[in-house]
Chains A and B, each alone.
Chain A
């Protein structure tokens, strides 16, 4: 939280004014790096003994669901906090906050699913932090591209009639990654 407040203040100082595309771009970049920090530890934080206990107690799908819900809540709080900070600093509220809320929820869900899955893969490797960003950033690009585009529309930077089809595509990516994640987690999660 302190990190988010500090970084939004630094960004505000750096750019002077935060408006339109700058605000959206900064927002998503900070969100991605926050996600890397938050989600990176979701599997590796446990010691090997605790991992064994979790393995015996829970089904991998239960564990993944729990991790997803907790990560999603954390990212939701972080995102709302960050947007509030940026809005206060730029002295300007979002123009179409209903659309932005939809985009934000779907995109955060996609980011959380993909990153949680990647973090379950990286927990076996030696240099986890760098591997996390190397593996997840290319996979996140489709989600981020659609999210940026839609949030620019929500800022009224330009108009587009294909909003609902883009939202559906975002939802499609989310559902697809969710299905694959649930299908594959039993292979990655082993102590």
Chain B
């Protein structure tokens, strides 16, 4: 009559979490462009751009190329690229009138930088093209390339996202802890239903222990989320709907504690708190899962943003993220198991 019947899940949980910690912190980010200046170019004028890149090794590579993406397949290379140091570049770019028929003047053009060590990095919507003020027409100056000319490097690296940068690693903590919390709550709800059917007090204690651990995970999720928010959105707490809903969800489960402590009879307490747990869980589903999807939110997955998919969670992140969820859930079950055994002893010797 335990939550975990043998030690394998505990070892597995520890190993998975160690893997998540080590790989999550040691795997480097893909290279990326952190700044690109100036933002616009005049037709037929030579413009010098200063480019700052992140996580790159330009000085060690033989040739760094800077491309302007004209349409879906055609690229125009910069006339000259000067490497200042590992993360600093200067590039001269000329857009001649002879090329204007190849691209849409209304749209901002993307820039692609590549070298043979780091692979390629893309800076979307980098250059706005302005009409020239009387400069003479030029022929094509840079060489025209194809998208297949861009060199890429196969390596296990996390995606580079502006605003997120290195904090993308928090996916393995903040998001995974919330997932684990939900799994624990589902399991606790299952034990509440089981208690109502069998009247077995062990199920009641299991459901209480699982809620205790899930609440702990919830607080951990809020803390990691607050730190993440500080670095990406600028404040620890915003009035984002999902934050407020999760705070309310925590309140709902704190009320569960209050309810338990206010009823003295053991059987009544177990019965009522099981009913409240089921009631609260379905409400929580509405709070955190449904309502934020109807309003705008800063979180991915709300207001039309892609949730877990697309570019935000690529295959390298998945390799760590899914083991992280399993790892936290197993550790949570272990914690709940300890808590459940403690509650058993408490009831047995009537320590309050």
Contact = CB atoms under 8 A, between A and B. Distances in A.
Nearest to A145: B291
Report the contact-size class of chain B (Cβ under 8 Å from the partner): 20 to 34
A166 interface: yes
Closest 3 CB pairs of A and B: A125-B262, A138-B251, A138-B252
A108 interface: no
Given A142-B287, A188-B271, 12 more contacts: A122-B259, A124-B265, A125-B259, A138-B248, A139-B280, A139-B283, A141-B287, A162-B294, A165-B294, A176-B286, A184-B278, A187-B196
A173 interface: yes
Given A135-B276, A173-B286, A180-B282, A124 B268 contact: yes
Nearest to B285: A176
A169 B196 contact: no
B275 interface: yes
Given A121-B275, A165-B294, A188-B271, A138 B263 contact: no
Interface string B251-269: 1100100110011110010
A184 B248 contact: no
A176 B259 CA distance: 23
Given A187-B271, A188-B271, A126 B279 contact: no
B272 interface: yes
Nearest to A124: B268
A135 B275 contact: no
Contact of B282 (A165, A169, A176): A176
A85 interface: no
Interface in A102-148: 117, 121-122, 124-127, 131, 134-135, 138-139, 141-142, 145-146
Interface string B290-305: 1100100000000000
A131 B279 CA distance: 16
- Taking each of A139, A162, A176, A184, which has the highest tally of chain B beta carbons within 10 Å of its own beta carbon? A139
A27 B252 CA distance: 24
8 contacts: A121-B275, A126-B262, A134-B255, A138-B249, A139-B252, A176-B282, A177-B282, A188-B272
B333 interface: no
Given A134-B255, A138-B252, A162-B294, A184 B272 contact: no
A141 B282 CA distance: 13
A162 B286 CA distance: 18
Given A121-B272, A124-B263, A125-B263, A138 B294 contact: no
A157 to B, nearest CB: 16
Given A121-B276, A187-B275, A142 B283 contact: yes
Contacts of B280: 139
B258 A135 contact: yes
B274 interface: yes
Contacts of B278: 180, 184
